[in-house]
Chains A and B, each alone.
Chain A
Amino acid sequence: MKLVMINNAFKTAVAIYIASILTCFSAEPEKSVIQIINFSQQPIWDAPWRFDTLRRSGGSGFVIKGKRIMTNAHVVSWAKEILVRKFQDPKLYRARVAFVGHDCDLALLEVDDPAFFEGLEPLEIGELPRVRSTVVTYGYPAGGEQISYTRGVVSRIELQTYVHIGNRSLLCVQTDAAINPGNSGGPVIQDGLVVGVAFQGIQGLENTGFFIPPPVINHFLKDIEDGVYHGFPTAGIRISQLQNPAYRKKLGLTIEGIGARIDSIMPIPSTQKLLKEDDVLLQVENYIVGSDASILYEGNRVHVAVAFQGVQHGESVKVKILRDKKEMELSLPLYVYDEDKRAGNQYDVLPRYFIYAGLVFTPLSLDYMRTLGRDWSDEANAELVYELLYRRNEDPEKARKEPIVLANILPHQINANFGVKGRALVDSINGIKIQCLEDVIEAFKKPNGEFHIVKFLPHNSVECLKVSDAERVKDEILKLHGVPSDRRL
């Protein structure tokens, strides 16, 4: 099964829109539902100074208090220009991103023209809807130009991967209301209140759409109150179910069905200080933790991770654990963890790179790996995949802060005889172990006599550049290939 995002990439120009005359203010939610058109351009991750073709995509949004439009982060990612349109209004307005949370796939837009918000009433955020209750989606999905409504029930409420970032899971609601490309960012309404933001579907499954529920929306809104979006903090613990009687007995559990095991702890100092492997998690905040690592959350059985998602960056959660057969209560501070950001999808920040003598160096990332084609995770690239996704947790002593790849080579006489053609992990340059992009720049300042020596992993293949030649042609190569700058740091 593949989770997909559901913004709508328009293939044809938007048809001429004949608006009906706007009636005066009404409490109908559709008046506050906005159509969003995003003209975006993504960088090319293996030629990071260039941009891919301009892409036009559409999504939905809705007005919330404070004269802002809420939508999905993926609707407005990599935006060059954003246009918004009101219900039955022919006029296009320019909008810009005020806040974006790529981990929770939410964004807030602002519109400079104050006329835009005239006659629009902000929608209020409601509560987490109950399963089996009815909801209606509003939005501008593919298949037509006008606003579209679909009705369905809340099918289930669970922790789900948010595919926009790819490596985070948050609370998520599944519905059988049709959610199609273009619905993204549109409100899901119940009793006149927003109970969700439509955002993703699962390829191959029918009648399943997903929306972002109020606890996640409210977390985002509270986060930005200080003017900065931090994101959802991470506890950094891997929690394993604890259902085997022998294991339960060994850890001193007496009550059946309660307590999950902390299997491992990520390299996060604040967590490592307070928690240990094989601590048993009995309670998080007010939620009793089941032996299957779940809690009862508003009547839904969900993964215990949800209990950690209520607090903001720097705040603490109360946890009750069993350690050495003794109960302990502690307050665990949670922080946003972004050391693994390159293992997820990255947005809006252009990739870092450095070019020397036509050799293009850039940090290893999931976005870069995808440039290797659909089979990027094949055995051929196992070393890169391991470095990107596994090394940090498995072999932290050998993990580099920011593994660097030779992404590409800009052809020139000086590098024409290189055996290494790119896609290679850089181990060292002039004897200096490369931990981050800045090390590359520094290392090229310290040649090995008359030569630069670059070594690659896994087998230490080596390439060599004559310093005098490299210095002579490095600017010429940039010019030849139309590269505006040798670096972006």
Chain B
Amino acid sequence: MKMFKKIVLLGVLVTGGFCIHGASDKLGFDWGKAIVTIEASGVQYDFRQPWNKQPKQILKSGVLIRAREILTTAEGLDNLLMVRVQKGGESKWWEADVKWLDYHANLALISVKDEKFFQGLKPAVLCDKSPDKNNLHVVRWKGANLEARKVEFVQYTVAEGVISSLNCVQMELETIQNPTTTSEIIVSAGKVAAITTGYKGENTRAIPAVFIRKVLSEQEKGKWRGLGYFAFWWQPSYNPSLHEYLKLGGEPRGVVVISTPEGAKNQNGLKPMDIILEIDGYPIDNQGNYKDPDFGKLILENLAIKNKFAGDTVNIKVWRDGTEQNVKYVLPKYDFSERLVPQQVLDKEPEYLILGGLVFQPLTEPFIRSFGSDWRRAAPFRLVYLNSQEPTRETPSLVVLSGVLPDPINIGYYDYRGLVVDSVNGITVRTMKDLKEAISQPKDGCHVIEFQKGESVRRLVIDAIREPEATKRILLRYGIQSSIRIAN
């Protein structure tokens, strides 16, 4: 064991890292007193067989930021069974719990019940402005050693998160090799600069402390409202003819609103062909960027989360019909159900209903992803297409026949899967509740299930008289505890 540590130490010396002991001066803070290891254990579901769950466990880093609150990312904290925290890299695990989390901000606060845990620990401070780009280190426990390694800043960018597709500002760093945990702590001059995410693309992405500070100060007020977003589509306006057509003189600037969603989210008064000139006083250039005082040039999407939360008003100056107008845009709350096909199903057991071996589920992205790592190609095209569509008043969500558990009652249907349901027994089905209601009304001893036009089959019929007995038999045969799981 000792030998191993020595080798590690040598290795990090060669590659530019250093062991913390005695080096806290350089890092401006004794990080061993703030950085902890978090072990999160939970379950994950198999959306092919939504009644199945299996255990999952991940290691994360966290950093003590308030008297009893440890900051980390929200990744891996869904469907949680148990969370434990360790200090000093190798010692006892302490029972902990999640005090608050938000998947769109990708942040969480964890606390430990036992007061003794916090003895000897010292909260760290979050940067209140953009840190020195040339002085960034990742600090992490490697066994009982706290290792610090310099990291190279690449840029600030606004991008979709790992869990949520909400656009947020992110700090991009040259890829940090061999992470020991997800959510590693990036520090600068004695303060927390950012927390890395599990982003799998080029470079490492981290959530900047400036953003975290603002989210936490809102959270501290007690009533977390969630993050908002701009629920409209816009395009850059490179084309000077477009400005001329819209009678906007001067240098090309602003972006053009091209479509606004239907329904309640469009109570905000933006119209197609409005040119967005300013948002909250920040001038918008013709690519859709503004100059952020903390991060430099960023895409305007960030102004929906920059010190703003769902329900807040954003002042948008637009050019409409040849004049400037001010629009008060109330930020709608970003939620996974914003899309026709919800992007995530977290902290709830997946819903399903089995009727004579026909397995129905809400159409969700986790179900489409269950077609494998190549799901964008492997899943039925229509499902992938629907995943990019927006909900409408008539179709806020969809229900899918996800598969069939073969049994004599459903003979002839064994190969059916991934078919989007239109109606059951003549009743339109868009939610699992609709489905539950519809199957209580069979006609002439049959359940008639109609799929959406364009599916490979339009209709199937199942014996409603024999169905209860068959379902019972199927549950037994396939080892399923219940034929239905629908949230109230």
Chain A residues at the B interface, C-beta cutoff of 8 Å: 238, 240-247, 249-250, 263-264, 277-278, 377-379, 382-383, 385-386, 389-390, 393-395, 417-419, 448, 450-451, 453, 459-466, 469
Contact A464:B245 (CB < 8 A) given known A242-B412, A244-B411, A244-B412: yes
- Contact check, A382 vs B384: say whether CB atoms are below 8 A apart: yes
Q: List 8 A-B contacts (CB under 8 A).
A: A240-B458, A244-B411, A247-B412, A386-B385, A390-B381, A393-B454, A394-B453, A459-B259
Contact A250:B459 (CB < 8 A) given known A394-B452, A394-B454: no
Contact A453:B272 (CB < 8 A) given known A246-B462, A277-B458, A386-B385: no
Question: Given the complex, which residues of B lie within 8 Å of A263, measured CB to CB?
Answer: 457-459
B466 to chain A, nearest CB (A): 8
B369 to chain A, nearest CB (A): 13
Partner of A464, one of B242, B272, B382, B460: B242
Closest 9 A-B residue pairs measured CB to CB?
A: A394-B454, A243-B412, A246-B463, A247-B461, A244-B412, A464-B242, A464-B241, A417-B238, A417-B239
Number of A-B residue pairs with CB-CB distance less than 8 Å in the complex they form: 111
Q: Mark B457-475, 1 if CB is under 8 A from A, else 0.
A: 1111111001000000000
| A238-B446 Cα distance, complex, nearest whole Å | 23
Contact A451:B258 (CB < 8 A) given known A246-B462, A394-B452, A460-B233: no
- Give the interface residue-count category, chain B: 35 or more
- Contact check, B412 vs A417: say whether CB atoms are below 8 A apart: no
Question: Given the complex, which residues of A lie within 8 Å of B240, measured CB to CB?
Answer: 417
Partner of B245, one of A238, A241, A264, A453: A453
Partner of B377, one of A249, A278, A378: A378
Q: Mark B222-251, 1 if CB is under 8 A from A, else 0.
A: 000000000001011111111011000000
Question: Given the complex, which residues of B lie within 8 Å of A465, measured CB to CB?
Answer: 241
A337 to chain B, nearest CB (A): 17
Contact A382:B385 (CB < 8 A) given known A377-B377, A393-B454, A395-B453: yes
Q: Mark B156-194, 1 if CB is under 8 A from A, else 0.
A: 000000000000000000000000000000000000000
Residue B314 lies at the interface, judged by CB distance under 8 Å to chain A: no
Question: Given the complex, which residues of A lie within 8 Å of B245, measured CB to CB?
Answer: 448, 450-451, 453, 464
- Contact check, B412 vs A241: say whether CB atoms are below 8 A apart: yes
| A277-B237 Cα distance, complex, nearest whole Å | 50
Question: Given the complex, which residues of A lie within 8 Å of B458, measured CB to CB?
Answer: 238, 240, 263-264, 277
Residue B256 lies at the interface, judged by CB distance under 8 Å to chain A: yes
Known: A382-B384, A385-B385, A390-B381. 17 other contacts (CB 8 A): A243-B412, A244-B412, A244-B413, A246-B409, A246-B462, A263-B457, A263-B459, A277-B458, A277-B459, A382-B381, A382-B385, A419-B235, A459-B233, A461-B258, A464-B239, A464-B242, A464-B245
Question: Given the complex, which residues of B lie within 8 Å of A382, measured CB to CB?
Answer: 381, 384-385, 388
- Contact check, A379 vs B376: say whether CB atoms are below 8 A apart: yes
| A54-B411 Cα distance, complex, nearest whole Å | 54
| A98-B236 Cα distance, complex, nearest whole Å | 53
Least CB separation from B410: chain A residue: A244
Max count, chain A CB within 10 A of own CB: residue among B237, B245, B444? B245
Question: Given the complex, which residues of B lie within 8 Å of A244, measured CB to CB?
Answer: 410-413, 460-462
Partner of A459, one of B238, B258, B457: B258
Q: Mark B438-460, 1 if CB is under 8 A from A, else 0.
A: 00000011100000111001111
Q: Mark B180-218, 1 if CB is under 8 A from A, else 0.
A: 000000000000000000000000000000000000000
A1 to chain B, nearest CB (A): 16
- Contact check, A240 vs B382: say whether CB atoms are below 8 A apart: no
Least CB separation from A414: chain B residue: B241
| A238-B457 Cα distance, complex, nearest whole Å | 8
Contact A250:B385 (CB < 8 A) given known A244-B462, A419-B236: no
A479 to chain B, nearest CB (A): 22
B69 to chain A, nearest CB (A): 40
A304 to chain B, nearest CB (A): 16
| A250-B463 Cα distance, complex, nearest whole Å | 9
- Contact check, A419 vs B239: say whether CB atoms are below 8 A apart: yes
Contact A250:B461 (CB < 8 A) given known A394-B452, A394-B453, A418-B238: yes
| A462-B382 Cα distance, complex, nearest whole Å | 27
| A306-B273 Cα distance, complex, nearest whole Å | 54
| A386-B384 Cα distance, complex, nearest whole Å | 10
Question: Given the complex, which residues of A lie within 8 Å of B410, measured CB to CB?
Answer: 244
Question: Given the complex, which residues of A lie within 8 Å of B256, measured CB to CB?
Answer: 462
| A250-B445 Cα distance, complex, nearest whole Å | 9
Question: Given the complex, which residues of A lie within 8 Å of B237, measured CB to CB?
Answer: 419
Q: Mark B403-441, 1 if CB is under 8 A from A, else 0.
A: 000000111110000000000000000000000000000
- Contact check, A460 vs B272: say whether CB atoms are below 8 A apart: yes
- Contact check, B461 vs A462: say whether CB atoms are below 8 A apart: no
Partner of A461, one of B235, B385, B446: B235
- Contact check, B242 vs A462: say whether CB atoms are below 8 A apart: yes
Question: Given the complex, which residues of B lie within 8 Å of A249, measured CB to CB?
Answer: 463
Question: Given the complex, which residues of B lie within 8 Å of A378, measured CB to CB?
Answer: 376-377
B36 to chain A, nearest CB (A): 40
B420 to chain A, nearest CB (A): 10
Q: Mark B383-407, 1 if CB is under 8 A from A, else 0.
A: 0110010000000000000000000
